[in-house]
Structure 1
Protein backbone atom coordinates (compact mmCIF):
# COMPACT_ATOMS: atom_id res chain seq x y z
CA UNK A 1 0.00 0.00 0.00
CA UNK A 2 2.84 2.42 0.79
CA UNK A 3 4.20 2.19 -2.73
CA UNK A 4 0.77 2.86 -4.20
CA UNK A 5 0.78 6.08 -2.17
CA UNK A 6 4.30 6.88 -3.37
CA UNK A 7 3.40 6.44 -7.04
CA UNK A 8 0.12 8.32 -6.57
CA UNK A 9 2.13 11.27 -5.19
CA UNK A 10 4.59 11.22 -8.09
CA UNK A 11 1.76 11.23 -10.65
CA UNK A 12 -0.13 13.87 -8.66
CA UNK A 13 2.90 16.18 -8.59
CA UNK A 14 3.45 15.87 -12.34
CA UNK A 15 -0.23 16.59 -13.02
CA UNK A 16 0.01 19.61 -10.72
CA UNK A 17 3.10 20.88 -12.55
CA UNK A 18 1.28 20.53 -15.87
CA UNK A 19 -1.76 22.37 -14.47
CA UNK A 20 0.44 25.07 -12.95
CA UNK A 21 2.25 25.66 -16.27
CA UNK A 22 -1.09 25.91 -18.05
CA UNK A 23 -2.35 28.42 -15.47
CA UNK A 24 0.91 30.35 -15.67
CA UNK A 25 0.51 30.85 -19.43
CA UNK A 26 -3.13 31.91 -18.97
CA UNK A 27 -2.26 34.41 -16.22
CA UNK A 28 0.75 35.90 -17.99
CA UNK A 29 -1.33 36.48 -21.13
CA UNK A 30 -3.51 38.67 -18.90
CA UNK A 31 -0.59 40.68 -17.54
CA UNK A 32 0.29 38.67 -14.44
CA UNK A 33 3.65 39.27 -12.80
CA UNK A 34 5.89 36.58 -11.35
CA UNK A 35 7.76 36.98 -8.06
CA UNK A 36 10.19 34.86 -6.07
CA UNK A 37 12.01 33.29 -8.99
CA UNK A 38 15.22 33.15 -6.95
CA UNK A 39 13.87 30.89 -4.21
CA UNK A 40 11.55 28.82 -6.45
CA UNK A 41 14.39 26.61 -7.69
CA UNK A 42 15.15 25.66 -4.07
CA UNK A 43 11.52 24.73 -3.50
CA UNK A 44 11.56 22.50 -6.60
CA UNK A 45 14.82 20.95 -5.41
CA UNK A 46 13.40 20.33 -1.93
CA UNK A 47 10.23 18.68 -3.25
CA UNK A 48 12.24 16.49 -5.65
CA UNK A 49 14.74 15.43 -3.00
CA UNK A 50 11.86 14.65 -0.64
CA UNK A 51 10.90 11.71 -2.88
CA UNK A 52 14.52 10.61 -3.26
CA UNK A 53 14.88 10.70 0.51
CA UNK A 54 11.75 8.59 0.98
CA UNK A 55 13.23 5.98 -1.36
CA UNK A 56 16.64 6.01 0.31
CA UNK A 57 15.28 5.83 3.82
CA UNK A 58 12.55 3.33 3.12
CA UNK A 59 12.15 0.70 5.76
CA UNK A 60 11.68 -2.93 4.97
CA UNK A 61 9.50 -3.24 8.03
CA UNK A 62 5.80 -3.86 7.87
CA UNK A 63 3.43 -0.91 7.82
CA UNK A 64 3.48 1.17 11.00
CA UNK A 65 0.81 0.45 13.59
CA UNK A 66 -0.61 3.90 12.97
CA UNK A 67 -0.85 3.28 9.21
CA UNK A 68 -4.66 3.56 9.04
CA UNK A 69 -4.67 6.75 11.07
CA UNK A 70 -1.85 8.31 9.01
CA UNK A 71 -3.44 7.18 5.75
CA UNK A 72 -6.76 8.79 6.74
CA UNK A 73 -4.98 12.07 7.49
CA UNK A 74 -3.23 11.76 4.12
CA UNK A 75 -6.59 11.33 2.34
CA UNK A 76 -8.02 14.36 4.16
CA UNK A 77 -4.96 16.40 3.14
CA UNK A 78 -5.42 15.39 -0.51
CA UNK A 79 -9.08 16.41 -0.41
CA UNK A 80 -8.10 19.70 1.18
CA UNK A 81 -5.43 20.21 -1.54
CA UNK A 82 -8.08 19.59 -4.22
CA UNK A 83 -10.41 22.13 -2.56
CA UNK A 84 -7.58 24.67 -2.56
CA UNK A 85 -6.83 24.14 -6.25
CA UNK A 86 -10.50 24.34 -7.20
CA UNK A 87 -10.96 27.49 -5.09
CA UNK A 88 -8.09 29.28 -6.82
CA UNK A 89 -9.08 28.00 -10.26
CA UNK A 90 -6.90 29.46 -12.99
CA UNK A 91 -4.94 31.43 -10.38
CA UNK A 92 -3.57 28.30 -8.66
CA UNK A 93 0.12 27.83 -9.26
CA UNK A 94 3.31 26.45 -7.78
CA UNK A 95 4.95 29.80 -8.47
CA UNK A 96 4.09 33.22 -7.10
CA UNK A 97 2.19 34.73 -10.02
CA UNK A 98 -0.17 37.63 -9.34
CA UNK A 99 -2.67 39.31 -11.62
CA UNK A 100 -2.51 43.09 -11.08
CA UNK A 101 -5.59 44.97 -9.92
CA UNK A 102 -7.57 41.91 -8.93
CA UNK A 103 -9.16 41.12 -5.62
CA UNK A 104 -7.58 38.51 -3.41
CA UNK A 105 -9.51 35.23 -3.64
CA UNK A 106 -11.72 34.80 -0.59
CA UNK A 107 -13.57 31.56 -1.33
CA UNK A 108 -13.07 28.00 -0.21
CA UNK A 109 -10.45 27.64 2.50
CA UNK A 110 -9.19 31.14 1.66
CA UNK A 111 -12.15 32.51 3.62
CA UNK A 112 -10.42 31.34 6.81
CA UNK A 113 -6.72 30.85 5.97
CA UNK A 114 -4.29 33.09 4.13
CA UNK A 115 -2.07 30.24 2.92
CA UNK A 116 -3.94 26.92 3.19
CA UNK A 117 -1.77 25.20 0.57
CA UNK A 118 1.34 25.76 2.69
CA UNK A 119 -0.52 24.27 5.66
CA UNK A 120 -1.16 21.12 3.60
CA UNK A 121 2.49 20.90 2.51
CA UNK A 122 3.72 21.32 6.09
CA UNK A 123 1.52 18.44 7.22
CA UNK A 124 2.49 16.28 4.22
CA UNK A 125 6.18 16.64 5.06
CA UNK A 126 5.35 15.11 8.43
CA UNK A 127 2.60 12.58 7.61
CA UNK A 128 4.02 11.03 4.43
CA UNK A 129 7.44 10.18 5.89
CA UNK A 130 5.76 8.76 8.99
CA UNK A 131 3.70 6.51 6.69
CA UNK A 132 7.00 5.29 5.22
CA UNK A 133 8.74 5.14 8.62
CA UNK A 134 11.24 7.67 7.21
CA UNK A 135 11.89 9.64 10.36
CA UNK A 136 14.99 11.48 9.17
CA UNK A 137 13.12 12.56 6.05
CA UNK A 138 10.31 13.91 8.23
CA UNK A 139 12.74 15.89 10.36
CA UNK A 140 15.04 17.23 7.64
CA UNK A 141 12.31 18.22 5.20
CA UNK A 142 10.08 19.74 7.85
CA UNK A 143 12.95 22.03 8.92
CA UNK A 144 13.98 22.80 5.32
CA UNK A 145 10.37 23.50 4.35
CA UNK A 146 9.88 25.81 7.34
CA UNK A 147 12.92 27.82 6.28
CA UNK A 148 11.81 28.10 2.63
CA UNK A 149 8.24 28.93 3.60
CA UNK A 150 9.49 31.76 5.81
CA UNK A 151 11.00 33.27 2.65
CA UNK A 152 8.18 32.36 0.29
CA UNK A 153 5.31 33.67 2.41
CA UNK A 154 7.12 36.97 2.90
CA UNK A 155 7.70 37.31 -0.87
CA UNK A 156 4.11 36.29 -1.66
CA UNK A 157 2.62 38.77 0.81
CA UNK A 158 4.82 41.53 -0.60
CA UNK A 159 3.77 40.65 -4.17
CA UNK A 160 0.09 40.70 -3.22
CA UNK A 161 0.47 44.12 -1.54
CA UNK A 162 2.41 45.51 -4.49
CA UNK A 163 -0.21 44.51 -7.07
CA UNK A 164 -3.21 45.11 -4.84
CA UNK A 165 -6.32 46.52 -6.42
CA UNK A 166 -6.47 50.33 -6.26
CA UNK A 167 -10.13 49.96 -5.17
CA UNK A 168 -9.21 48.63 -1.73
Structure 2
Protein backbone atom coordinates (compact mmCIF):
# COMPACT_ATOMS: atom_id res chain seq x y z
CA UNK A 1 0.00 0.00 0.00
CA UNK A 2 1.28 3.46 -0.90
CA UNK A 3 2.13 5.82 1.92
CA UNK A 4 -0.67 8.31 2.60
CA UNK A 5 1.90 11.10 2.79
CA UNK A 6 2.62 10.67 -0.94
CA UNK A 7 -1.02 11.31 -1.76
CA UNK A 8 -1.23 14.23 0.64
CA UNK A 9 1.91 15.77 -0.85
CA UNK A 10 0.53 15.31 -4.36
CA UNK A 11 -2.66 17.05 -3.21
CA UNK A 12 -0.61 19.91 -1.79
CA UNK A 13 1.25 20.35 -5.08
CA UNK A 14 -2.05 20.25 -6.98
CA UNK A 15 -3.40 22.98 -4.67
CA UNK A 16 -0.32 25.10 -5.39
CA UNK A 17 -0.91 24.44 -9.09
CA UNK A 18 -4.50 25.66 -8.75
CA UNK A 19 -3.19 28.74 -6.98
CA UNK A 20 -0.94 29.35 -10.00
CA UNK A 21 -3.95 29.11 -12.30
CA UNK A 22 -5.73 31.70 -10.11
CA UNK A 23 -2.65 33.94 -10.44
CA UNK A 24 -2.77 33.61 -14.22
CA UNK A 25 -6.45 34.60 -14.27
CA UNK A 26 -5.70 37.67 -12.15
CA UNK A 27 -2.63 38.43 -14.26
CA UNK A 28 -4.58 38.29 -17.52
CA UNK A 29 -7.20 40.68 -16.15
CA UNK A 30 -4.50 43.05 -14.88
CA UNK A 31 -2.66 42.89 -18.23
CA UNK A 32 -5.83 43.98 -20.03
CA UNK A 33 -6.19 46.85 -17.55
CA UNK A 34 -2.55 47.90 -18.06
CA UNK A 35 -2.62 47.68 -21.86
CA UNK A 36 -5.85 49.71 -21.97
CA UNK A 37 -3.93 52.47 -20.17
CA UNK A 38 -0.86 52.39 -22.40
CA UNK A 39 1.03 49.67 -20.52
CA UNK A 40 4.35 48.60 -22.00
CA UNK A 41 5.59 45.03 -21.70
CA UNK A 42 9.28 44.25 -21.33
CA UNK A 43 11.20 41.00 -21.06
CA UNK A 44 8.85 38.83 -23.08
CA UNK A 45 11.76 36.57 -24.02
CA UNK A 46 12.27 35.15 -20.53
CA UNK A 47 8.57 34.58 -19.78
CA UNK A 48 8.26 31.16 -21.50
CA UNK A 49 11.32 29.93 -19.58
CA UNK A 50 9.69 31.12 -16.35
CA UNK A 51 6.49 29.20 -17.15
CA UNK A 52 8.48 26.04 -17.93
CA UNK A 53 10.56 26.40 -14.76
CA UNK A 54 7.56 26.88 -12.48
CA UNK A 55 5.68 24.02 -14.12
CA UNK A 56 8.81 21.91 -13.74
CA UNK A 57 8.93 22.70 -10.03
CA UNK A 58 5.46 21.24 -9.51
CA UNK A 59 5.91 18.23 -11.80
CA UNK A 60 9.45 17.58 -10.62
CA UNK A 61 8.53 17.61 -6.94
CA UNK A 62 5.73 15.08 -7.42
CA UNK A 63 7.80 12.89 -9.76
CA UNK A 64 10.79 12.86 -7.44
CA UNK A 65 8.72 11.97 -4.39
CA UNK A 66 6.96 9.09 -6.16
CA UNK A 67 9.81 7.77 -8.32
CA UNK A 68 12.70 8.17 -5.88
CA UNK A 69 10.58 7.09 -2.89
CA UNK A 70 11.42 10.20 -0.90
CA UNK A 71 10.34 9.96 2.72
CA UNK A 72 8.24 12.40 4.69
CA UNK A 73 10.50 13.57 7.50
CA UNK A 74 8.20 15.28 10.03
CA UNK A 75 10.64 17.90 11.35
CA UNK A 76 11.60 18.94 7.82
CA UNK A 77 8.19 18.46 6.25
CA UNK A 78 6.15 20.44 8.75
CA UNK A 79 8.62 23.33 8.90
CA UNK A 80 8.77 23.49 5.09
CA UNK A 81 4.97 23.38 4.90
CA UNK A 82 4.86 26.38 7.25
CA UNK A 83 7.31 28.17 4.93
CA UNK A 84 5.15 27.32 1.88
CA UNK A 85 2.08 28.78 3.62
CA UNK A 86 4.06 31.90 4.61
CA UNK A 87 5.27 32.28 1.02
CA UNK A 88 1.69 32.09 -0.25
CA UNK A 89 0.62 34.72 2.27
CA UNK A 90 3.46 37.02 1.20
CA UNK A 91 2.64 36.47 -2.49
CA UNK A 92 -1.02 37.40 -2.02
CA UNK A 93 -0.04 40.39 0.15
CA UNK A 94 2.08 41.56 -2.81
CA UNK A 95 -0.80 40.98 -5.24
CA UNK A 96 -3.26 42.85 -2.98
CA UNK A 97 -0.82 45.72 -2.46
CA UNK A 98 -0.04 46.20 -6.15
CA UNK A 99 -3.66 45.72 -7.18
CA UNK A 100 -4.08 46.10 -10.92
CA UNK A 101 -0.37 46.85 -11.27
CA UNK A 102 0.55 43.25 -10.29
CA UNK A 103 1.25 40.83 -13.11
CA UNK A 104 3.19 37.66 -13.88
CA UNK A 105 4.61 39.58 -16.84
CA UNK A 106 6.61 42.80 -16.70
CA UNK A 107 4.01 45.36 -17.79
CA UNK A 108 4.42 48.95 -16.66
CA UNK A 109 1.86 51.70 -17.19
CA UNK A 110 3.86 54.85 -17.98
CA UNK A 111 3.49 57.59 -15.42
CA UNK A 112 2.14 55.54 -12.53
CA UNK A 113 4.09 55.98 -9.30
CA UNK A 114 6.11 53.14 -7.82
CA UNK A 115 4.29 51.33 -5.03
CA UNK A 116 6.04 51.79 -1.70
CA UNK A 117 3.48 50.42 0.74
CA UNK A 118 2.68 46.96 2.07
CA UNK A 119 5.65 44.61 1.72
CA UNK A 120 7.22 47.07 -0.74
CA UNK A 121 8.02 49.31 2.25
CA UNK A 122 10.64 46.76 3.25
CA UNK A 123 11.89 45.23 -0.01
CA UNK A 124 11.85 46.26 -3.67
CA UNK A 125 10.81 42.76 -4.86
CA UNK A 126 9.02 40.91 -2.03
CA UNK A 127 7.11 38.68 -4.47
CA UNK A 128 10.42 37.14 -5.51
CA UNK A 129 11.21 36.39 -1.87
CA UNK A 130 7.98 34.37 -1.86
CA UNK A 131 8.97 32.61 -5.11
CA UNK A 132 12.42 31.69 -3.78
CA UNK A 133 11.05 30.48 -0.43
CA UNK A 134 8.32 28.42 -2.04
CA UNK A 135 10.63 26.95 -4.68
CA UNK A 136 12.94 25.65 -2.00
CA UNK A 137 10.32 24.69 0.59
CA UNK A 138 7.60 23.02 -1.47
CA UNK A 139 9.73 20.08 -2.67
CA UNK A 140 11.31 19.72 0.77
CA UNK A 141 7.90 19.16 2.37
CA UNK A 142 8.44 15.57 1.22
CA UNK A 143 12.27 15.52 0.94
CA UNK A 144 12.47 16.15 -2.82
CA UNK A 145 15.88 17.73 -2.44
CA UNK A 146 16.98 17.31 -6.09
CA UNK A 147 13.98 19.31 -7.30
CA UNK A 148 14.59 21.94 -4.61
CA UNK A 149 18.22 22.38 -5.65
CA UNK A 150 17.63 22.32 -9.42
CA UNK A 151 14.74 24.80 -9.19
CA UNK A 152 16.63 27.11 -6.83
CA UNK A 153 19.72 27.28 -9.06
CA UNK A 154 17.72 27.72 -12.29
CA UNK A 155 15.41 30.23 -10.62
CA UNK A 156 18.38 32.28 -9.38
CA UNK A 157 19.58 32.66 -12.97
CA UNK A 158 16.09 33.51 -14.21
CA UNK A 159 15.37 35.98 -11.41
CA UNK A 160 18.67 37.75 -12.04
CA UNK A 161 17.45 38.49 -15.58
CA UNK A 162 13.86 39.17 -14.52
CA UNK A 163 14.75 41.67 -11.79
CA UNK A 164 17.10 43.52 -14.14
CA UNK A 165 14.34 43.78 -16.78
CA UNK A 166 11.77 44.86 -14.20
CA UNK A 167 14.04 47.48 -12.63
CA UNK A 168 14.93 48.92 -16.04
CA UNK A 169 11.25 49.08 -17.07
CA UNK A 170 10.21 50.72 -13.81
CA UNK A 171 13.04 53.24 -14.00
CA UNK A 172 12.21 54.09 -17.59
CA UNK A 173 8.42 54.20 -17.40
CA UNK A 174 7.21 54.79 -13.83
CA UNK A 175 7.00 58.15 -12.10
CA UNK A 176 9.20 58.61 -9.05
CA UNK A 177 7.11 58.79 -5.90
Fold match (TM-score > 0.5): yes
Larger mean CA deviation between 46-55 and 56-65 belongs to 56-65
Aligned-pair RMSD on alpha carbons? Answer: 1.4
- Aligned partner of 2:133 in structure 1 is 123
Structure 2 residue runs without a partner (length 5+) = 1-7
Say whether the 8 Å CA contact 2:83–2:133 is kept in structure 1. Answer: no
1:5-24: CA deviation from partner (whole Å, max 9, x where unpaired): 11110110001001100100
Q: Is 1:92 aligned with 2:102?
A: yes
**Count of aligned pairs between the two proteins:** 167
- Aligned partner of 2:46 in structure 1 is 39
Deviation at 1:64, TM superposition (A): 1.4
- Aligned partner of 2:17 in structure 1 is 10
| TM-score scaled by length of structure 2 | 0.89
Larger mean CA deviation between 56-65 and 99-108 belongs to 56-65
Q: Is 1:74 aligned with 2:81?
A: no
- Aligned partner of 1:23 in structure 2 is 30
- Aligned partner of 2:73 in structure 1 is 64
Structure 1 residue runs without a partner (length 5+) = none
* 2-structure distance, mates of 1:4, 1:118: 24
Larger mean CA deviation between 48-57 and 9-18 belongs to 48-57
1:61-117: CA deviation from partner (whole Å, max 9, x where unpaired): 552122222212221111111111100111111000001011101111001110000
Q: Is 1:55 aligned with 2:65?
A: no
Deviation at 1:164, TM superposition (A): 2.8
- Aligned partner of 1:108 in structure 2 is 118
